[in-house]
């Protein structure tokens, strides 16, 4: 029965992994790595072919699709984790209109205002402590705000 190239892998390692999975499922597979040079045995410029017998192609493709499906699931999990770190949706109402609050700008404006008031009323020491309090407030302030419902988190 003639061999059919099922897919091409970038490295011998990946091809051998897929071969092992196929053979574990009872499909004899062959890695055709005649293009591999002795200088870079794991990185073939032509790719490493994974071949199966003509009659096994459908089954082998099904198995490989299942493996790549797992890969996709792992990538989806990774992007979900990124979304938690950088929320794009309000956890309260689900609105995508999320603003990150401009904490530094707010602090600078407040500090400048307090300093001006301190100069005007000749109470610089009191204003220094007020500025300190405002600084702490902005440090603990929620970094995200929903533009739709005003929810902060
Ligand atoms: Zn909201």
- pTM for the full model? 0.41
Instruction: Supply the pLDDT for residue 127.
Output: 84
Task: Quote the ligand 1 centre to 75 CA distance (angstroms).
Answer: 27
CA of 143 to the centre of ligand 1 (A): 14
Worst-scoring range by mean pLDDT, 33-37, 50-54, 128-132, 140-144?
33-37
Q: What percent of the chain has pLDDT over 90?
A: 16
The token duo for 35 is: 């293009």
Q: Which 8-state DSSP code applies to residue 89? A: S
Could you tell me which residue, 127 or 27, shows the higher pLDDT?
Answer: 27
What is the 29 CA–ligand 1 centroid distance (Å)? 54
Q: Which of the four pLDDT bands, split at 50, 70 and 90, describes residue 2?
A: confident
pLDDT in tens, 33-70: 665 455 555 555 667 889 999 999 999 998 888 877 65
Per-residue confidence band for 22, with pLDDT thresholds at 50, 70 and 90: very high
pLDDT above 80 for 119: yes
Interval between CA 104 and ligand 1 midpoint (Å) = 23
Tokens 């005007």 identify what position?
120
Q: How high is the pLDDT of residue 40? A: 53
Asked if the model's pLDDT at residue 72 lies above 80, the reply is no
Kindly report which listed range (28-32, 36-40, 77-81, 143-147) carries the lowest average pLDDT score: 36-40
Phi/psi zone of residue 101: left (φ > 0), alpha (ψ -120 to 50 degrees), beta? beta
DSSP 88: -
The residues placing their C-beta within 5 Å of ligand 1, an ion, are 90, 92-93, 95, 146, 148-149, 151
pLDDT above 80 for 102: no
Domains annotated for the chain, with CATH where assigned, are 3-85 (3.30.70.1530), 98-146 (no CATH)
Record the tokens describing residue 117, joined without a space.
């008031």
| Residue with more model confidence, 88 or 30 | 30
């Amino acid at each position: 029965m003639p061999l059919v190239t099922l897919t091409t892998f970038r490295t011998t390692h990946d091809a051998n992994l897929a071969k092992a999975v196929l053979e574990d499922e009872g499909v004899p597979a062959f890695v055709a790595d005649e293009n591999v040079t002795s200088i870079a045995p794991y990185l073939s410029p032509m790719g490493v072919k994974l071949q199966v017998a003509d009659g096994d192609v459908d089954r082998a493709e099904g198995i490989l699709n299942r493996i790549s499906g797992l890969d996709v699931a792992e990538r989806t999990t990774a992007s979900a984790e990124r979304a938690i770190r950088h929320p794009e949706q309000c956890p309260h109402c689900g609105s995508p209109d999320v603003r990150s609050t401009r904490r530094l700008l707010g602090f600078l404006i407040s500090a400048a205002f307090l300093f001006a008031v301190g100069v005007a009323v000749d109470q610089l020491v009191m204003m220094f402590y007020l500025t300190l309090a405002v600084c702490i407030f902005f440090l603990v302030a929620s970094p995200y705000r929903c533009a739709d419902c005003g929810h902060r988190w």
